Structure 1
Amino acid sequence: MESPQILQAASLLTLPQLQVAEVLSLRAAGTRLRDLARAIGVGVEDRRLTAALRALHEAGLAQPDEDDPEWIRTVALHQVLANSYGFGRAAEHELQYLPVEHLQRIAYGLGAPVGREHRRLLGAIGAALADPDRVRDLFRSAPRAARDIMLDMAVGEPFYADPHAMMALRTGNKSSPLRWAVDHGLLVFNAYYGAAISMPSEVGVALRPDFRAEFDPSPPAPPSVTISAETVDREGSAAARAALSSVTALLEECGRTPVPILKAGGIGLREVRKLARLVGSDEEGVRFWLTVAGMNGLIGIAGDRVAPSAEFDNWLKLEPAEQFGWLVDGWFQMPAAPLLLDGRAALVGSEQDAGSALLRVTLAGVLSSLRTGRGAAGLDGLAAMVAYLRPLVAGDAGEVMPMMAALWREYELMGVGAHHAPTTLCHALAAADRERLAEALRGFLPPAEETVLLQSDLTAVATGAPSGALSALLDLAADRESRGGGYTWRFTESSVRRAFDAGSTAEELLARVRAAAAGGRVPQALEYMIGDLGRKHGVVRVRTVGCVLRSDDTALLGEIRSVRSLARLELTELAPTVLSSALSPAETLAALRHAGYAPAAENPDGTLAVERPTRHRADLPAQ
């Protein structure tokens, strides 16, 4: 098993399992069961120790030796759980850079098999040092000065950096008191790479007479309080609806005006605040929803700006429960903690995000383990349980509190938790049950509204999330005023003109509005507004003109209009003596001259423009 796989498996261990694993990591070649039990202060048949070893076996991290069931072998735990309890690294690690001939001397001094293969020599030396009785017997035969130094290293720092001692070892001085210990593998010194003399963990744990490892097999019991499950779900449902509205509003705003990215990456505080004002949110919400949208593929990079992706259009077509389910999928295991505020720009990750996905999932399990109708008395109780269940990632309860505060706020925003208690969504996520999750989402988010209530004050109100088609119509013909538990639009003259500018006629727009109105009822004031603006729309028209041609010779202008080679000018008669051209003055002049005419440019005041040839000059080099 490679180190990343070992680390991943170890990150899933509970506190007592990790404590046992840390003791096992002190001896890379394996540990006798009685030595392990003695180290953690229990009997060899203690059921809690047995349970921890079973979990390590199931995780592929430890297993009994085939020839000796009392001997527990591990995968390379020493690679990821180094320096436990203040000991140094395992002998296999400390000796790996020594040449074969040096390893052969150590193996011989230990009475271990001596061969020529580097890897086998390391294993033989590690196995010899894994026997604490052998280490202690060997230690007793060491020179007195070496024993004193080794005892100090065993109970204190596992390194010795006396320059005189290292020089003696480097020059091969056989009278050095530490030469014997180095030749027998009780200490390690690499003349080429060593900055200090080190003591392998196998030696340190054997020589520390009072060594006892921590073992906490009983989980904490955080206090809980009574809270109505109906109240928790009601608040969770409201949060989910508000979340869906916030994401929609935020991404629509990013679609209208893509958000610039900082040179260093991410979206800066000024832009975050601006978005918060525009969509009626706060900075915290904008940071969070941008990250969730990014993790779900709903936004992307367009040049140097953030804008909705093509997936956003597909997402808008879904029912509210499906839309929110899409967000929940990406959020629950996203490797990011955007609310762990540390001065970062939005959409920028950091090392603090590491482990956030595992802790987020663990928190769901902790909440779901609470009895129905109960919630945690405070966040500290939840933090204590998460720290117990995932200590390698979380640290202790105090260390994990900032992350827990950030994750709990996410739970509230997503409608997964309220009052430190789980909602129905939380239970479904903890159970990893897709059907149960889909049912919970449908309970929290009813089907999209297909109609709105049109009121005499020219507002349109939807009590639930509007469908994509309804939103598109109202966003086109009215101005959105609010989101959240309800959705409100207001029809104004400018918003109705916007619909006409997009190609609608008064009859078409009124028909679409009537079809979207609850009961087909359209207030008379809105009908009059649409009809009146429809009659006025387009009475005055504006077209793009590159330039105009003016001549008192109307016959000549008529001739020019009929020349086929000048068709690309799209000449149009504005008056008997004026033609418009779609091209710029320079392009029009060139085309007319190419066709054999002799036009002249004219200034805005009617005088002839003088066309002087441009004369380019280069700057002189600096003296």
Structure 2
Amino acid sequence: MKKDSPVPTLKGWLDTQSDDQLSVILRNRPDAVLPLPPNLGSLAARLQLRASAVRAVLKLNALELAVLEAAANIGGELHPVSAPEVVEYLRATLKDDAPSEAQIDAAIITLKNYALLFGDEQVMIAQETMAALPAFWRLLPEVGDRGQSEKEVRESVEKLSERHRKLLDTLAASGGFGLTRDAGPNADPTRPVPQLLAAGLLARVDEQTVRLPAMVRHIIEGREQLPAQVKEVTPSAVPGSDDAGLAAGLEVVRHMRLLIDALSLVPAPTLKSSGVGVRVVSRLKKELGFDDTELFRLVCLGTDARLLRIGVPDPLPADDNGGDYLAPTELADEWLDADLNQQLATLMTGWWEQTWAAWLVGEADEKDKPIHLLSYSNNIDGLEDTRAKIMASLTRVTPEDLHADLAFHYPLAASRMKPETITHLIEEAKWIGAYADGVTAPGRALVEGAQPEDVISAPTPVETFHVQGDFTIMVPGPLTPTMQKMMDSIATLESPGLASVYRLSEKSIRHALDVGLTTPEILEFLKDHSMTELPQSVGYLLSDIARKHGTLRGGPALCYIRSDDPALLHSAVEAGADVALRQIAPTVAIAQAPLLKVITLLRNAGFQPVAEDGEGASLNIAPSPARVPVYIPGPPVPALDEGRIAAAVKAIRRENSASKGTVSTQPTLAVLQAAVRGQKTVTLGFVDKQGVAVHRIVKPLTVNAGQVDAVDEATGAVHRFMLHRITEVIVDN
């Protein structure tokens, strides 16, 4: 290129590209399309905005970033450079790890498709592209480095004197560059700067300026040096075990049902500062039998799946404190009634979009205070994108090669991923069933943007089981929701999975009697669904517990308590002073409080009363489940489909070459009326309400009453233009 040749511009290069190439650019840079740019100059300006460039570079792999960095290092931001120059630079810096010439050429084409590079035989870097990279970002080894490994540089830094180390610390804190009189080649070799230059821990920019190399900077700041992973990792992943993943996912479904039932009965009050407090967490753990990790994951998942939400429940708890509560939403009822496939698919979709980091609960925040469940510090922006990248990598490689694969395909994102975040997200994937010795079919569906319920094949729920003499119940498959709820009421799960084992015990049967079930109902359930004759030992266990349970009876008379045992009733009256329980007969007492409150108080005092109706039949006096309104997100931003891309290219081209159209000398009204009759597309020039001149490609529909209704070619929307604001009409030839 001649020295006096003008520097090429992105706008000039765009003007020479085909419609197909412009479509590729718009597809890769959709943020530059909406709203529709009026011409190529405007499109070029948008493509060179810092925010747009940031979105684009985040999509590049390590090879493409290395090519971009190489082009910048040989001056591609200031003047055109050739592909052979880029190839030569990469070979010199990466040596045996350098990519092939074909790979570099393919990367250059990709960068052009993103409009980050532009040009034909020679290319330049679009403005703001390098500035869009993180501060001090460097992927390639620096020219002039001695070829030292990170270990060697680290050892050199550790051997430095306090004076030398302080100098490096100062440079790291001040941006990496420093001015000094000791930078020249003839400087006193006993001075610190020449000594650091000689050791390769500083780089000379000129005779007055030194720079801290990237590797040294990372070591000084305690950060890992990102390797120049410019070659793709060999695929090593194998398909996951769908059966194991399904078993894990169905266990999460079962636990979610239990959590929803618990919060339906007693919504969890939240802290004024946001989040769920430690006391509430402890109560739920004890009631449900979950550990911290399980409970935190379930609450975070339920919230992102829109099954749980913090708000004001209906009905309010009896001891309402005027604050908000964590409670199920109306959507939880639909989820509870859905089949297993839909239930698991809903949870997997919620997990895929989840931004709550369950593992942070209990850790110290930036103010050294513990992070509460569902508090603001428990939420991580961009967590769903990190999860998607990790899962996408796991479809290609095993966990052993995960970091290398992330470093190649998503280098910028990978440089910000914390190792503990990666570990926890993989553990969550195993927990929900998206990963089981490999990515499972539902996990792959999520990665590919498909619906997981299309590939989930939960076994048909069973309605029979095998009751054994040792009080265990062998269930050969998942139970129906109704049977599952009954089983959870009367027995304790011992072995989860697609085939599960439950155990009847005194504690589990008492729990069933407390929630309103009767001994005959439990026996009938077991007999109706048992594949064999019910063992006598089970009947004896139920009869023995029933004799001790329910000897204290209560009814809705605002209210009465009766018992055939006068001594027991007398003890109950003494315990019921808070509800004004008063004995009116040897076997009858009354209270001036609702029956539910009296029953609850007596149970807390160690008694085992049950409620009855006027005829002595047992009642279920559990309150209506609490619900909060479900959060309804706004409509998703419409995707930039091929039709809109084609319309945008056509509109930009038409505006850019408007001079090739016919600017009518006839009155505007007559031209627009003729365009309506001929169904012609026109370019309208008009002044908007802010006084800005605008051009838009439209197809006029009607012209009347001093206004024009027309369809926007780019968006398909109908707009109304005032006739007096229209400055010109260019008819499409």
**TM-score category, normalised to shorter length:** 0.5 to 0.7
Closer, same or farther in 2 for the Cα pair 1:382/1:160, shift >3 Å?
same
Aligned to 1:188: none
Closer, same or farther in 2 for the Cα pair 1:460/1:389, shift >3 Å?
same
Q: SS at the partner of 1:339?
A: helix
TM-score by length of 2: 0.47
Matches within 5 A, 1:420-435: 421-434=438-451
Structure 2: give runs of 5+ residues left out of the alignment.
Answer: 1-31, 33-48, 92-98, 139-170, 181-204, 215-225, 313-323, 365-370, 561-583, 595-733
Aligned to 1:55: 110
- Of 525, 542, 555, 1:542 maps to 555
1:484 maps to a residue whose letter is: P
Aligned to 2:420: 402
Whether 1:441 aligns to 2:450 is no
1:422 maps to a residue whose letter is: V
Aligned to 2:82: 34
Aligned to 2:480: 467
2:262 maps to a residue whose letter is: E
CA deviation string 1:294-345 (max 9, x = no partner) = 1111111144321222222221222223211111112124334433564332
Whether 1:316 aligns to 2:370 is no
Aligned to 2:59: 12
Say whether the 8 Å CA contact 1:387–1:400 is kept in structure 2.
no
- Of 112, 118, 122, 1:64 maps to 118
Whether 1:307 aligns to 2:362 is no
2:89 maps to a residue whose letter is: G
1:471 maps to a residue whose letter is: Q
* Greater displacement, 293-302 / 467-476: 467-476
Q: In structure 1, what is the Cα distance between the partners aligned to 2:468 and 2:309?
A: 38
Q: SS at the partner of 1:324?
A: helix
Per-residue deviation, 1:409: 1.3
Per-residue deviation, 1:7: 2.9
Q: In structure 1, what is the Cα distance between the partners aligned to 2:543 and 2:254?
A: 32
Per-residue deviation, 1:389: 1.6
- Of 264, 286, 296, 2:305 maps to 296
Per-residue deviation, 1:253: 3.0
Say whether the 8 Å CA contact 1:235–1:418 is kept in structure 2.
yes
Q: In structure 2, what is the Cα distance between the partners aligned to 1:433 and 1:581?
A: 59
Aligned to 1:77: 129
CA deviation string 1:496-555 (max 9, x = no partner) = 5446x47x895x77666554x134855567678989969x989955344499xxxxxxxx
Q: SS at the partner of 1:281?
A: coil
Matches within 5 A, 1:576-615: none
Q: In structure 1, what is the Cα distance between the partners aligned to 2:213 and 2:382?
A: 29
1:472 maps to a residue whose letter is: K
Say whether the 8 Å CA contact 1:452–1:460 is kept in structure 2.
yes
Closer, same or farther in 2 for the Cα pair 1:312/1:249, shift >3 Å?
same
Closer, same or farther in 2 for the Cα pair 1:24/1:327, shift >3 Å?
farther
- Of 415, 436, 441, 2:433 maps to 415
- Of 343, 356, 374, 1:347 maps to 374
Closer, same or farther in 2 for the Cα pair 1:283/1:448, shift >3 Å?
same
Aligned to 1:243: 252
Say whether the 8 Å CA contact 1:19–1:215 is kept in structure 2.
no
Closer, same or farther in 2 for the Cα pair 1:482/1:249, shift >3 Å?
farther
Say whether the 8 Å CA contact 1:299–1:307 is kept in structure 2.
yes
2:439 maps to a residue whose letter is: P
Say whether the 8 Å CA contact 2:466–2:532 is kept in structure 1.
no
Q: In structure 2, what is the Cα distance between the partners aligned to 1:340 and 1:25?
A: 40
1:384 maps to a residue whose letter is: A
1:409 maps to a residue whose letter is: E
1:17 maps to a residue whose letter is: E
Say whether the 8 Å CA contact 2:309–2:326 is kept in structure 1.
yes
Per-residue deviation, 1:222: 7.6
Whether 1:285 aligns to 2:294 is yes
Per-residue deviation, 1:270: 5.1
CA deviation string 1:221-247 (max 9, x = no partner) = 4896xx9868x5554344333333333
Closer, same or farther in 2 for the Cα pair 1:497/1:38, shift >3 Å?
closer
Amino-acid identity (%): 19
Aligned to 2:267: 258
Closer, same or farther in 2 for the Cα pair 1:512/1:406, shift >3 Å?
closer
2:54 maps to a residue whose letter is: L
Q: SS at the partner of 2:456?
A: helix
Q: In structure 1, what is the Cα distance between the partners aligned to 2:248 and 2:505?
A: 28
Q: In structure 1, what is the Cα distance between the partners aligned to 2:100 and 2:511?
A: 79
Q: In structure 2, what is the Cα distance between the partners aligned to 1:157 and 1:228?
A: 44
Find the structure with the greater CA-based Rg: 1
Say whether the 8 Å CA contact 1:30–1:71 is kept in structure 2.
no
1:368 maps to a residue whose letter is: T
Matches within 5 A, 1:57-136: 57-58=112-113, 60-65=114-119, 70-72=122-124, 74=126, 76-78=128-130, 80-81=132-133, 83-84=135-136
Matches within 5 A, 1:560-571: none
Aligned to 2:617: none
- Give the aligned CA root-mean-square deviation in angstroms: 5.1
Closer, same or farther in 2 for the Cα pair 1:209/1:481, shift >3 Å?
closer
CA deviation string 1:31-89 (max 9, x = no partner) = 5233994598148993333222332333x342524xx6524353643553264459xxx
Closer, same or farther in 2 for the Cα pair 1:54/1:276, shift >3 Å?
farther
Structure 1: give runs of 5+ residues left out of the alignment.
Answer: 87-151, 162-203, 548-573, 585-623
Q: In structure 2, what is the Cα distance between the partners aligned to 1:413 and 1:581?
A: 49
1:56 maps to a residue whose letter is: L
Closer, same or farther in 2 for the Cα pair 1:3/1:265, shift >3 Å?
farther
Aligned to 1:218: 230
Closer, same or farther in 2 for the Cα pair 1:267/1:84, shift >3 Å?
same
Say whether the 8 Å CA contact 1:411–1:417 is kept in structure 2.
yes
Closer, same or farther in 2 for the Cα pair 1:495/1:217, shift >3 Å?
closer
CA deviation string 1:569-591 (max 9, x = no partner) = xxxxx99xxxx99999xxxxxxx
Per-residue deviation, 1:441: 2.3
Closer, same or farther in 2 for the Cα pair 1:256/1:158, shift >3 Å?
same
Say whether the 8 Å CA contact 1:339–1:407 is kept in structure 2.
no
Aligned to 2:383: 356
Say whether the 8 Å CA contact 1:465–1:487 is kept in structure 2.
no
Q: In structure 2, what is the Cα distance between the partners aligned to 1:4 and 1:156?
A: 23
Q: SS at the partner of 2:485?
A: helix
1:403 maps to a residue whose letter is: T
Q: In structure 1, what is the Cα distance between the partners aligned to 2:383 and 2:486?
A: 40
Q: In structure 2, what is the Cα distance between the partners aligned to 1:354 and 1:454?
A: 49
* Greater displacement, 448-457 / 41-50: 41-50
TM-score by length of 1: 0.54
